[in-house]
Chains A and B, each alone.
Chain A
Amino acid sequence: MAVRWNSEFFIAVEHRDLQANAMAVNNTGTFVLLAGRRYIAIRNLDDIDNDQIKKFPRQSKYEVGSAEWNPTEHHNELCVISSNQRLEVLTWSKGELTQTHSLRAHTRVITDLNWHKTDPNILASCSVDTFIHIWDLRDSRRPSLSLSAIAEATQVRWNNVNNYLLATAHDGDVKLWDQRKGTAPIQYISAHLSKIHGLDWSPSSETYLATSSQDCTVKFFDTNNPRRPDSVLSTNAPVWRARFTPFGNGLVTVVVPQLRRGENSLLLWNTDNRGTPVHTFIGHRDVVLEFEWRQPKTNDNDFQLVTWSKDQTLLVWKIDPFLQKLCGHEPEDTTGEDIMEELTKTSSMKIQPLQQEFSLLNVHIPNLDVIKMDVNKRTCTVRVECNKGTALIQVTFPNTYPHGVPPIFQIAQGSTIDNSLSNQILQTLNHVAQQRVIKNRTCLEPCLRQLVATIEQCNSDSVENKSQFEMNYIETNMFGTFNNTYIPFPRTSGAKFCSVSLLVCFGRAIPPRRANNKVDTPTPRALSALGSNYGSKPRSNSTVTVSSYYYQKPRRSQGQGRHIKAYVVVYDGSNLFFVNKQLGEKYILDGDVGTICKYNANVASTVGRLDLVQAWTLAELVVSPQQAEEDMQWTEHPFGTQLMQSLITYYASQSDIQMAAMLCCIFGKEQETASARKSSLKQFLIPGLLAAGKRWHKSGGSPYHTIPPADVVAEGWVFPLLKSTRSSSLDNLRIEEYVPLPPPKNQGSNLYEYYKLAYAEILHRWGLLYNRAEVLKYMCTPSEQYRGIQFTTECQTCLKSSQSCSCNSCKKLTFNCIICHVSVRGSANCCVICGHGGHTLHMQQWFAKNKICPSGCGCYCLAETAGMFN
């Protein structure tokens, strides 16, 4: 036997040996009966000091199903227990328990029994055998009335008001019976889809009952309107019992015993507010088997809940007056209540927001301890420390909080701060709270943060603060200070990399922090740390600014002459990076590859980058054709390509974008032999030969052509009539003639493009536009998807259309000039309407004099085309 004490339950007895699974409390609440297979025990609850129980051995092979003490005064010595198919009526007198009646009529196990509420001799029992028997103890041989219900009954309950009415539960249905009309139920309620575990009538209403079910709900029915539940209470577990409280409109629920998930608490609800329980009775270590109410002194508001659990402990819970109030019960006299209870009494149930607020409260506020949070009393006590002492602040939440009503702040006993500071704190808190609750927002956390900020400020401004504070407090706020809690504390130092290698730094001048207590505290996270008056009336002398947080009191004596040293320092971080502006300026990319490498190696040596000299020399050796083997290019050499690639990869991984990009350019450039490249470049530069594709792609078929396609496209569309063979033929060439380079690593070459692009951007930032253009020439930009009219020519022999001037399959030139009848290779113009055209020069000459098409088709080409483009 062990006794545990807790503020909530004042009697706790453990009876391991009883193995009882039924419990009953007599009508005066004095005795409790515990019944199991082996013992029946009776304990006096009024006699707290005496832990003794009276045990009566009971030799039976059946468990006790249920037990109940007669609720009437006349026969309050009687109690009844069910044992399999039998009911045993026991009499408790003079400390002895004797069996007086044995009621047998059921043919199957009895599931439930219930004494009549007012008639001391009447008792109802129900069983799996589908019968509900009503017994009169004056004739115990047979039931006085038997009700046949077809389905097995699990619960039976007499109505608390109407003496004739009783309700029984059958699986998911409820049947109502009138004992005067015994043949059939008078009412039938299809209550739940799952099994009903518990049934209870309202203590005051004749027509109101509650059913608790496996489907995790408690449903409330008005028997006048049985089709639909009056209301539903949803929980997250199957409900074993749901019983009304004898006071107010409360309800107590327990979960199904089989469900051993550690949920051993009883929940107290207010039936008017079914969202969350009003209270949770925590204490049992195993499921609660039975609970009953007890009222030690009649006509008193001292209600107690007696619970018996599978852990074989009996707990008696005191239901505090405030809990009763939460259930809507209003005791007649309130004596010795504190202010809080006065407040709670006045209004309806608004407990949920507060409970939620408490649970969401971040209690890790520096310098602040939350001592106590009591949802039920709607109070919260916090302690803050400052150099002037300790402040204990009690916050009381009225019931209507936070809907326009701010909580009440009080400096509690035990505070050691002086009056002026406490006034100041209270003023600030009220102000912040008011700001929040006006918008129906909760305010506890902002208030607490503000409190800490205020205290901190008082710590620092210990000399002159009051006048300033009060003044600002009265001033209307420009932006409202309440949300400063969520605005991050301003940065007062920082570093940013800008442009290519500049590092811009700003920070606080020395001395960075005041010498006093602030050194150890971490930097606050929110702007509210600066005090509630931050942001109000900008630039007034007394405004708290960020600087005042860090420095001594702004020297007001100096007036406007106060100067904060706001420096920005620009650092040259170029030594941190491998990219070098000087190199960028001097590197060349035009000319023979070998010459480029040699030249760039020299450049690197003048800058002092000997490592790069080596790399360039190596690149030169790799890239330039070997004298001995004139025919063999380095790309065909087993080591050449790989060496170049690994060089590029190395520099890229070092973030030396400059070197990586330069090598990429050279690498790409080298694909063409130097001489061929030169000739191709010349061809490109002569516009008339631009479309001479054949010759061009003889020159190596490199994807890295040297003219940015943007230029080509632009040139090609200077005149809308110009036949656009250039850019498209170029594209075709690239696709068709693309000779995969020895290791065609697509991914790698894409990266190379990025390197070039990144280097071009760096050059751009340096303002080296010429060098940037040089690099961009090596870019292999994606050919732009052509959108618009496209001219195609049709081969006269193959009848296939082609976008270039020669047929794709037979390679014959496909397009003849309408004037000179010679095949067109270079620039051409066509009429969009009739399709006739030819050499640009010829067309130009023709249309200088004529308006009509040279073919004689009668088309007014110029006018028609102009009309079309308009």
Chain B
Amino acid sequence: MVSVLNTIDTGHEDMIHDAEIDYYGLRLATCSSDNSVKIYDIKNGAHTLLDDLKGHFGPVWQIAWSHPKFGNLLASCSYDRKVIIWKEMQGKWNKYYEYANHDSSVNSVQFAPPEFGLILACGSSDGSISILTYQNETNTWDAKKIPNAHAIGCNAVSWCPAITPEPAFNNTQAQPLVKRLVSGGCDNLVKIWREDGDRWVEENKLEVHSDWVRDVAWAPSVGLNRHVIASCSQDRRVIIWTSDDCQSWNSTVLQTFDDVVWNVSWSLNGNILAVSGGDNKITLWKQSLEGSWQCISDVSKGQGQLTANEQRAL
């Protein structure tokens, strides 16, 4: 069902922890335990190294591309407690902003939907979540912190897509967009935060996981007036949370896997979920029309073969 488009030998000296392609699907960024972030041009099946970003002094856990309307920005977070936002200027990537106000490893970064402006959320093992907002007028970054968002530590953050509670395409009065984000942490909780004035308030606390929550992903919503969140945990489960009003949430256990689950990622349409975990396997899940979740593909098999081929080639 899926075909290999491109295989990139990143040349990282240690394990890769995250990889992401930009908005247009032209560039790939990877980050690794070798403290570096690499950017590749993958246009038309090529893989040209564009830049090797060295600025972190610890393993880099996660990266995130911004929407291109803000320029080519890439955020990275690391064990060295720093968040760095890189910007491309004339083909060169430079440190654009560095945020070092966390007391422990920063585990997750995610840019907000572009409708809100240039905003970055960071989740750290010190238990707090930082919201960095770019101020156009002053050309500065304004940091807001949700202290003690998760006891022990926050492992993942994800933004709610920008849709108004009551869509108003015809009304003259457009309703303000509500900023929400979901986070998961070592307190086994999934929490939903809403911006209320200049504060972030905890709107909901979802309590089903029995071990650390490793990743959360708010599904892109395509018109369907329904919120869907996927969360995965050390307890080897993936849970799908659904809500119509962001107030009451229903949980469905997607599957209990063989090993811990590290990643959940929604497709742009929000109808396919990619799940990966400690067993080095990647599975794709799709909701049938009846509402049950089905595994539609097991990428790891293909990957395994591929890796074997590559090894032979080398």
Interface residues of A, Cβ cutoff 8 Å to B:
478-479, 483, 486-510, 512, 522-523, 525, 527, 535, 538-539, 545-547, 550, 563-573, 575-577, 579, 652-653, 655, 657, 703, 731, 735, 746-747, 749-755, 758, 761-762, 765-767, 779-785
Expressed in whole angstroms, the Cα–Cα distance for A638 and B155 within the complex equals 55
Mask: chain B, 1-41; 1 = CB below 8 Å from A; 0 = not: 11111111111111111111111110010101111000000
Q: Are A753 and B167 in contact (CB under 8 A)?
A: yes
Sample of 15 A–B contacts (CB below 8 Å):
A479-B105, A487-B104, A487-B107, A493-B280, A496-B265, A497-B272, A502-B21, A506-B19, A509-B307, A565-B311, A567-B9, A568-B19, A754-B163, A762-B268, A782-B168
| Contact yes or no, A486 B186, CB < 8 A | yes
Any chain A CB within 8 A of the CB of B139? Answer: no
Q: Assess whether B306 is in contact with A510, with CB atoms less than 8 Å apart.
A: no
Known: A547-B15, A753-B167, A755-B222. A570 touches B5 (CB 8 A): yes
Residues of B46-80 contacting chain A, CB below 8 A: 57-59, 61, 79-80
Known: A509-B307, A538-B35, A570-B5. Contact between A758 and B222, CB under 8 A?
Answer: yes
Interface check B206, CB cutoff 8 A: no
Which residues of chain A are near B42, meaning CB under 8 Å?
Answer: 570
12 more A-B residue pairs beyond the given contacts A486-B152, A566-B11, A576-B1, with a C-beta to C-beta distance below 8 A: A486-B125, A491-B61, A491-B262, A491-B276, A509-B307, A523-B277, A566-B10, A655-B222, A767-B24, A780-B169, A782-B168, A784-B174
**Contact string, B253-264, partner A, CB cutoff 8 A, digits 1/0?**
000000110110
Interface string of B206-246 (1 = CB under 8 A from A): 00000110100000001111000000001010000000000
Judge whether B100 is part of the interface by a CB distance below 8 angstroms. Answer: no
Partner of B260, one of A525, A573, A767, A783: A525
Identify A655's interface contact among B153, B168, B270, CB under 8 A: B270
Residues of chain B within 8 A of A489, CB atoms compared:
260, 278
Q: Which residues of the partner chain A approach B8 to less than 8 Å between Cβ atoms?
A: 567-570
A783 to B173, CA, bound (A): 8
Q: With an 8 A cutoff between CB atoms, is B250 at the interface?
A: no
A575 adjacent to B167 (CB under 8 Å): no
Q: How far is the CA of A551 from the CA of B15 in the complex (A)?
A: 11
Q: Which of B33, B80, B297, B302 contacts A546, CB < 8 Å?
A: B33
Contact A782 B268 (CB under 8 A): no
- Is B23 a contact partner of A499 (Cβ separation < 8 A)? yes
Tell me how many residues of B have a C-beta within 8 Å of chain A. Answer: 102
Q: Which residue in chain A gives the minimum CB-CB distance to B175?
A: A782
Task: Name the contact of B303 in the complex, choosing from A502, A507, A564 (C-beta under 8 A).
Answer: A507
CB distance from B239 to the nearest CB of A (A): 17
Give bound CA distance, A785 to B12, whole Å: 52
Q: Which of B12, B79, B107, B299 contacts A505 (CB 8 A)?
A: B299
**Contacts A566-B32, A783-B172 known; A496 to B20 CB distance under 8 Å?**
yes
Does A496 lie within 8 Å of B4, measured CB to CB? no
**Docked complex: B169-205 residues within 8 A CB-CB of A:** 169-174, 186
CB distance from B77 to the nearest CB of A (A): 12
Contact: B6 with A569, CB < 8 Å?
A: yes
Within the assembled complex, what's the spacing in Å between the Cα atoms of A785 and B176?
A: 12
Contacts A523-B259, A547-B14, A780-B169; A497 near B33 (Cβ below 8 A):
no
Q: B148 to chain A: closest CB distance in Å?
A: 13
CA gap between A500 and B302 in the complex, in Å: 21
Complex-state Cα separation, A502 to B30, whole angstroms: 15
Q: Judge whether B307 and A567 touch: CB under 8 Å.
A: yes
Q: Is the CB of B303 within 8 A of A505?
A: yes
Contacts of B125 in A (CB 8 A): 483, 486-488
Complex CA–CA separation, A487 to B152 (angstroms) = 9
| Residues of chain B lying within 8 A (CB to CB) of residue A503 | 2, 274, 284, 299
Residues of B contacting A571 in the complex (Cβ-Cβ under 8 angstroms)? 2-5, 299, 302
Q: Are A506 and B30 in contact (CB-based, < 8 A)?
A: yes
In the complex, which of the residues A491, A577, A749, A779 contacts B17, with contact meaning CB atoms closer than 8 Å?
A: A491
Chain B contacts to A: CB under 8 angstroms: 1-25, 28, 30, 32-35, 42, 57-59, 61, 79-81, 104-105, 107, 125, 152-153, 155, 163, 167-174, 186, 211-212, 214, 222-225, 234, 236, 259-260, 262-263, 265-272, 274-282, 284, 286, 289, 296-297, 299-300, 302-304, 306-308, 310-311, 314
- B31 → chain A, closest Cβ, in Å? 10
B212 to chain A, nearest CB (A): 5
A553 to chain B, nearest CB (A): 15
Tell me, in angstroms, the Cα distance from A216 to B284 when the chains sit together: 59
B15 touches A749 (CB 8 A): no
Contact between B17 and A575, CB atoms less than 8 A apart: no
A35 to B60, CA, bound (A): 77
> A352 CA to B15 CA in the complex, in Å?
44
Q: Are A487 and B3 in contact (CB under 8 A)?
A: no
In the complex, A166→B296 CA distance in Å? 85
The smallest C-beta distance from A571 to any residue of chain B, in angstroms, reads: 4
B308 pairs with A510, CB closer than 8 A? yes
A523 to B234 alpha-carbon distance, docked (Å): 8
A509, B300: Cα distance in complex, Å: 11
Bound-complex Cα distance A750 to B310 (A): 50
CA distance A761 to B272 in the complex (A): 18
A579 surroundings in chain B (CB, below 8 A): 269
Distance between Cα atoms of A494 and B266 in the complex (Å): 13
**Contacting B3 at CB < 8 Å: which of A496, A550, A575?**
A575
| B4 contact set on A, CB distance < 8 A | 569-572
Task: Report whether A509 and B311 are in contact in the complex, using a CB–CB cutoff of 8 Å.
Answer: yes
Task: Say yes or no: B21 contacts A504, CB within 8 Å.
Answer: yes
CB distance from B245 to the nearest CB of A (A): 15
User: Which chain B residues border A498 with CB–CB below 8 Å?
Assistant: 20-22, 25
A546, B7: Cβ atoms closer than 8 Å:
no
Say whether, besides A502-B5, A753-B169, A758-B223, A566 and B25 are in contact (CB < 8 Å).
no
**Cβ contacts under 8 Å, B314 to chain A:** 565
Measured between alpha carbons, how far is A570 from B310 in the docked complex, in Å?
15
Closest 8 CB pairs of A and B: A754-B223, A499-B25, A523-B278, A498-B21, A655-B271, A566-B12, A570-B6, A495-B274
Which of chain B's residues have a CB closer than 8 A to the CB of A573? 1-2, 267, 272
**Shortest beta-carbon distance from B226 to chain A in Å:** 11
Q: How far is the CB of B160 from chain A (nearest CB, A)?
A: 15
- Most A C-beta atoms less than 10 A away, residue of B4, B16, B107, B286: B16
Contact call A502/B25, Cβ cutoff below 8 A: yes
Asked if residues B2 and A572 are in contact (CB atoms below 8 Å), the reply is yes
Please indicate the chain A residues that have their CB under 8 angstroms from the CB of B267 in the complex. 497, 501, 573, 576-577
**B23 → chain A closest CB, angstroms:** 6
A782: chain B residues within 8 A (beta carbon): 168-174
Question: For residue B302, which residues in chain A have a CB less than 8 angstroms away from its CB?
Answer: 571
State in angstroms the CA–CA spacing of A785 and B19 once bound together: 42
Is the pair B310, A567 in contact by a Cβ cutoff of 8 Å?
yes
Distance between Cα atoms of A668 and B21 in the complex (Å):
35
Q: Which residue of A lies closest to B233 (CB)?
A: A525
Residues in A neighbouring B300, C-beta threshold 8 A: 507
Q: A522-B259, A754-B163, A782-B170 are in contact. Are A491 and B268 (CB under 8 A)?
A: no
A572 / chain B contacts, CB cutoff of 8 Å: 2-5
B170 neighbours in A (Cβ, 8 Å): 703, 746, 749-750, 780, 782
- Determine how close the nearest CB of chain B comes to the CB of A194; give it in whole angstroms: 38
Inter-chain contact A496/B263, CB cutoff 8 Å = yes
Complexed CA–CA distance, A488 and B278 (Å) = 12
Residues of A within 8 A of B20 (CB): 496, 498, 504
Instruction: Pick the residue among A506, A546, A652, A781 that contacts B59 (CB under 8 A).
Output: A546
Query: A523 → chain B, closest Cβ, in Å?
Result: 3
Quick one: which of A500, A567, A653, A749 contacts B10, CB cutoff 8 A? A567
Q: Please state if B33 and A483 are interface contacts (CB–CB under 8 Å).
A: no
Tell me whether A754 and B310 are in contact (CB under 8 A): no
A753 and B174 alpha carbons, distance in the complex (Å):
14
CB contacts (< 8 Å) of A508 on chain B: these are 15, 280
Q: Give every chain B residue within 8 A of A565 (Cβ-Cβ).
A: 9, 307, 310-311, 314
